[in-house]
Every structure is written in structure tokens, then in C-alpha cells.
Amino acid sequence: MLVSFSSYSSLSLSLSPPKSPLPFLACFKTPFIFNISSHHTVQSLHKSPPSTRLWKKMASRVSLLFFACALVLIAAVSSAEEALSKEFVLTLDHTNFTDAVTKHDFIVVEFYAPWCGHCKNLAPEYEKAAAALSSHDPPIALAKVDANEEANKELATQYEIQGFPTLKILRNGGKSIQEYKGPREADGIIEYLKKQSGPASAEIKSAEDASTLIDETKIFIVGVFPKFSGQEFENYMALAEKLRSDYEFGHTTSVKFLPRGESSVTGPLVRLFKPFDELFVDSKDFDLEVLEKFVEESSIPTVTVFNNDPTYHPYVIKYFNSPETKAMLFVNFTNEVAESFKSTYREVAEQYKGQGLIFLIGDVDSSQGAFQNYCDTVSEQFFGLKEEQAPLLLVQTNDGQKYLKPTLGADDIAPWLKEYKEGKVSPYRKSEPIPETNNEPVKVVVADTLQELVFNSGKNVLLEFYAPWCGHCKKLAPILDEVALSFEKDPSVLIAKLDATANDLPSDTFDVQGYPTVFFRSASGNLVQYEGDRTKEDIIEFIEKNKDKPAVAQQQQQEELSKEEPAKDEL
């Protein structure tokens, strides 16, 4: 066969192997194959010329190369899919919890419930944080436990889980347990846990170190010691470890490194820097309990301000979390008398400093949670107040008792608080109005009818504590209606509900930490919290198991006996 290489395109078509992965190369660009000296060379092609064998060899190599590239691509895709599908959050339960915690010096555990909306929102952020922290040096482990699972409820009880999600930081194989008090989004979780996994107190070796750690926007605590040893230093480090989730700590050998205060003061001492009041305070008492009390009391302003300014919000939360008795003045900050109230109130607060009474002043417009029936983490416990009562002063004790002085003037503040301290003020109980009709299957209970309908009714009462804004409460409502209809012909059973945001509860009887919370009180007075599934069948089974069946008969018998007793006394 004779071929002119000037007609390379037609040759290309005739020699290109079928299904070749690459187009045939133009012959004029590959003269080495056919030993061509010019572009008009004519070469005789035998049946199996060297060029054909070389082509087959090249095609084989190209096929191998293509196959290798495909393998690399498949491996890359597989690796990417594996990375995407891998879960970095450890799944724990009652069978592996102890082993997992024991082998980690630092592990974070989320206790969650599958039905919890907040848990669902946290899940992707928690997973992102777990993925990032898995490469931290050393790695930080994040885990989760389904606390709603029956087999895991003992774990939830052990770790005092009151709501979902609850995150705990476990250190030293679980020997040290702390609440997670950081952000709920991935970047914040990562940053917070990096700090928490490091030393509880940072050493300050220079003024530059101090300026990096201490600023005018946050509380920072520094221990000053001549040397980092001895009982004082050990107590300080123990305090830092205990309170590390709430405060930032540092330690130094020289007060001269610190930005505020007299540089001639010598240690050992503890200096607390704060962005309010006197800016810093010192303590030289290193008793651990005294130190902790010093930190807690010093980190709350003399008067906490509750308004729209977000810089105050951490102190508002700290105020409401304090175990101290709280005095709260609510006034309209735009009112012309507001400044008079503020100055008078601060003077009174200074007088009561250190007497177990802490003070807050709230702007009526900014603290609507105190006056409306919707959830507010800071002020939900004070629902039921009316705006027309402002300016008002409210005192709440640690056991939940409230004392109210509505529509007061600035000059009334000091005299009324004096009367309160002397025990001359009667408690105030928040209650919704008693309903005019109560004919629905689930009966409405308010604070003023709690005694009558629950404690003195002689019935087996299932009582739901709910919040109007709560989605889970709304889902439970029709189920409770069905339960109530199931017991319609049983006069010994009462299904009831109480809006816990609008009514005060006896805190010594009902411990309501979240919504909905359901309690069952038998006719004989046994009280138990319902923690089963929120289904009609399970709730009915629970009532049948716990009720006193002859409840109404017992009540009638007791009434008859009480009528007979006076007659016996006359004999």
C-alpha cells in the first residue's frame, strides 16, 4: 500500500483504531513513526509494519494511563464521600458511656431528645465543631446521648438533666463535671472549647500579656503571688478550675504588670477587674468558699440595668441566676422622672450592699417579658405584671415568694424596702382570673384555684404545666383532650392544665424546669412527675397505674367521718 503523507487527514481516518480514547495524531507531526524525512515522502505499508506495532503499544499505554486516572478520580470521590458521611460526634448510651468518658481527659457530652427542636438546630453546628476539633492538638471529643431513650434515663438522672439540649464538660475521666455555658453555633463552640480544654488560669509574664487578656468590656480575675506554690495558690487554682466556665482567670508574680490599681500592693491577693462600678476590687482572703463568694458578689453591678443594650445582657443573666433575694424596679426610661428613680434607687442599693439583696432596674419598654405572656429566659418567672402598675418595685426571694409595690414614687422606695425587711409586707401571688366557665374536657387551673381543684378536690389529677408559646405543649393539647374524654365517665379522675407563665406555683411542690411538665397527684396525695411518651395510650396507662380507684368514695367517707366527729366529742 502506497500512501502520500501530504494527505494525512484521510490516513488519519483509515488508521485510527476503533473506539480509541484519543483522536489519531496527524501524521505530519509524527515523522519519527514512519522515518519520514520530508512532508512528501511515500512509505510502503506492509501488513504489520513497525508503525502499527508502535501504535498498538502507544494505545495500550494510553489505555493504562486512562485507567489509572479513572482509579485516582474514583478514589478521590470515594474519599470525599467518606469524609462527608463520617460522623465525628460520638454516639454514646448506657452500654459504652463509662468507657468513653474514662478514656478521655476532656470530653463534651450533649444530652438530647429526638423530638426537641433546639436539639435539631444544634445538631449540624455540633457536628461541624466536632469535625474541626478532631484535628485539634490534642483532639477534643464531642459526644451525644439520647436521654429520652428509656435505657439512658438513669444517665440523665445521674447528670441532673432538666431540659434539652444540655451539654456537660467532663474532665479527668469524668471526675470533674461542668456545665457547658458557651455559644450554640459551630465557630463559637470551637473557640469556647479550645479555651476550656487549656489551663484554667493563664500565666501573665508581662504588661503586654496583661493587656492582651484584660480589657474594659469583661470581667477578668487575676491572682498575684510571690511564687506559684503554697496553700493560697492552690486554693486560687482550684477556684479557677471550678469557675472556669463562667469567668476568665490569670496569675502573675507582680501586680506591676496589671493595668489598674496601686502597683505597690503586694501579694498574695486576688484582683477582679470589671467594666462597671469601681472597675476593680481586691481580696486577700484565700478561703475557698470566701473566694468564691467574693467573685460571685463582685461580678454583679450594684444596680444591674435591664434594657436593649446587649452589653448589659450577660450581667442581667447573671443577676437572675444568682441565689440572692432580688429587688427589681421597673420604670419607663423615657419618662421625665426616670433619672430621679435611678439615682434614688442606686442610693438605696448602696445602703443594702452585702445584706443579701441585689438590685436591678428595668426599662418597661425593653423588659416586656416581665409584663407579657411569652418566653424570655431572663424574666419569664415574672409574667403577669401589668404595665399600668409601673413604676413598680418587685422583690423575689430564693424560694419563689414575691412582694409587690405597684405605682410607687421615687420617695417610696426606701420606706417600702424597710417595711419588707421588717416582715411587714404581705406576699404577692400572681394568678390569672378564675375562668367564668370551665366546661372543656381539660379543666383550666389558675393559681387562685390550685388548692381547690388539685389539692382539696379528692380526685386523681393529671396536671399539665404549659406555656402558650410552647410548640410541644400545642402538640400535647389534643392528646390530653382525648385522654380527658376517655375518663369522662370516671368522676375520680381530673385532667387539667395551668399556664405556668401567668400563674405563680408553689415551688416546694412542683419543680417545673421546662414545658410541658406533667404531674399526677393521686386522691390520697401521692405526687409523681410523668416522664413517659406523650401518647394517649401511655398517659392513660400511667393514670390507671397510679390512681386511687375509690377516690370519690374515700372523699365522701372522709366527709361523713368529719361530720360524725363533733357528735362523738359531745358524748
Q: What is the largest CA-CA distance in the chain?
A: 146
354/369 Cα distance (integer angstroms): 28
Hey, how many other C-beta atoms are within 10 angstroms of the C-beta on 403?
A: 19
Q: If we measure between CA atoms, which residue out of 362, 343, 350, 351 comes closest to residue 410?
A: 343
Q: What SS3 class is residue 405?
A: strand
Q: Answer yes or no: 116 catalytic.
A: yes
From the list 361, 387, 366, the residue with the least C-alpha distance to 376 is 366
Distances (CA, A) of 441 to 35, 485, 495, 519: 102, 6, 7, 17
List for the chain the helix, strand, coil content (%; round to 5): 40, 20, 40
Q: b/e per residue, 248-283, with b = 16+ CB within 10 A?
A: bbbbbebbebbeebeeeeebbbbbbbbebeeebbbb
Best CA proximity match to 165, nearest among 123, 193, 130: 123
Residue with cell 405584671: 385
Nearest by Cα to 547 from 527, 568, 567, 517: 527
In the numeric block, the cell 471529643 is attached to 141
User: Helices 231-243 and 288-298: crossing angle, nearest 10°?
Assistant: 50
Q: Which of 27, 69, 375, 470 is catalytic?
A: 470
473 assigned to active site = yes
Residue 389's contacts (CB-CB under 8 Å, 6 or more residues apart) are 404, 406, 407
Three-class SS state of 381: helix
Name the H helices within 171-263. 186-197, 207-213, 231-243
Of 522, 532, 528, 541, which Cα lies nearest the Cα of 476?
532
**Beta partners for residue 521, in sequence order:** 461, 527
Residue from 27, 69, 119, 375 carrying the catalytic annotation: 119
Please state, in angstroms and rounded to a whole number, the distance separating the CA atoms of residues 209 and 351: 38
Instruction: Give Cα separations from 396 to 320, 322, 492 (angstroms).
Output: 10, 12, 37
**383 near 370, Cβ under 8 Å?**
yes
Which H helix or E strand runs over 497?
A: strand 493-499
Q: State the cell numbers at 473.
A: 405543649
| DSSP letters for 57-87 | HHHHHHHHHHHHHHHHHHHHHHHHHHHHH--
Count of CB atoms within 10 A of residue 161's CB? 20
| Count of CB atoms situated within 10 Å of the CB of 5 | 19
Looking at the annotation, which residues are catalytic?
A: 116, 119, 470, 473
